[in-house]
């Protein structure tokens, strides 16, 4: 049961790869960093005697997903599990953000995920077997001042995943979305979340990437559609569902302000 994992060079993506390999399953790993991918691949090959194919690709580029899928098809590889993990955020006012960075975020968090799913799904449906895991966030449920576009992309991922899960129900393919809170990984540095007071408040004690990946992986194969990691996150999302959107936006604006 070969899995394709995007954003597999570190963090949650690398932990997904380790989990899948530990079950004796083959892998296709992709991310921008060829060196990091190959190092992880070598480790997994030695530990578990599995096949690990490394295909470096910048999925933030237009048609990056198509280029990746073409490379996979050229090798005649079958994908049974797709884990759409690649993505990034950016802290700061929307009006002040470089447009190129914002456009790349939308491309990676939304377009790439949808296109890669679109390319892989028909083969899964034809075989009547497959698993797709998309990485959402607790941000999927909230408006996010100072990370407005990131939160919006994750809201899209949640809606897309839930809709698609129902669309393919009963056809042998399961779609799941994992929604963690802030997680100990390099995501915080890349997204500049360390500049926000968010990590000093309710999300100060972050779980490890390994904890989040393990939970999401287990929920995927239990065929859970929406998986929110952490009791506190589940409680917060349940409570905020009762609030008007304007209140939630004001609440997040207070929580997610820049450090002085």
| Residues 251/243, Cβ–Cβ less than 8 Å | yes
| Residues 137/154, Cβ–Cβ less than 8 Å | yes
Distance of alpha carbon 103 from the chain centroid:
18
**Among 43, 72, 77, which Cα is nearest to 55's?**
72
- For β-strands 52-54 and 3-6, DSSP reports them as unpaired
Distances in Å between the alpha carbon of 36 and those of 13, 135, 162, 192? 12, 21, 32, 22
φ, ψ of residue 36 to 5 degrees: the values are -65, -40
Query: Does the annotation count 217 as an active-site position?
Result: no
Beta carbons within 10 angstroms of residue 79's beta carbon: 22
From 131, 150, 215, 217, the catalytic residue: 150
| Residues 117/219, Cβ–Cβ less than 8 Å | no
Residues serving a catalytic function are: 150
């Amino acid at each position: 049961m070969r899995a394709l994992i995007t954003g597999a060079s570190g963090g949650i993506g690398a932990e997904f790869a380790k989990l899948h390999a530990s079950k004796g399953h083959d892998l296709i790993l992709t991310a921008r960093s060829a060196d990091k991918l190959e190092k992880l691949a070598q480790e997994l090959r030695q530990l578990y005697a599995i096949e690990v194919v490394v295909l470096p690709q910048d999925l933030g580029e237009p048609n990056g997903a198509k280029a990746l899928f073409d490379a996979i098809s050229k090798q005649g590889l079958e994908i049974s599990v797709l884990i759409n993990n690649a993505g990034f955020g950016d802290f700061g006012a929307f009006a002040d953000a470089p447009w190129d960075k914002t456009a790349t975020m939308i491309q990676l968090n939304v377009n790439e995920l949808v296109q890669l799913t679109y390319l892989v799904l028909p083969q899964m449906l034809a075989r009547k077997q497959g698993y797709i895991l998309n990485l959402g966030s607790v941000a999927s449920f909230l408006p996010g001042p100072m990370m407005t576009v990131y939160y919006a992309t994750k809201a899209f991922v949640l809606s897309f995943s839930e809709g698609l899960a129902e669309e393919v129900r009963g056809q042998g393919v399961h779609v799941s979305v994992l929604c963690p809170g802030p997680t100990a990984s390099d995501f915080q540095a890349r997204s500049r979340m360390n500049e926000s007071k968010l990590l000093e408040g309710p999300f100060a004690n972050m779980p490890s990437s390994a904890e989040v990946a393990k939970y999401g992986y287990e929920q995927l194969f239990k065929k859970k559609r929406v998986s929110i990691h952490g009791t506190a996150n589940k409680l917060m999302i349940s409570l905020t569902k009762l609030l008007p959107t304007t209140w939630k936006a004001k609440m997040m604006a207070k929580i997610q302000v820049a450090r002085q």
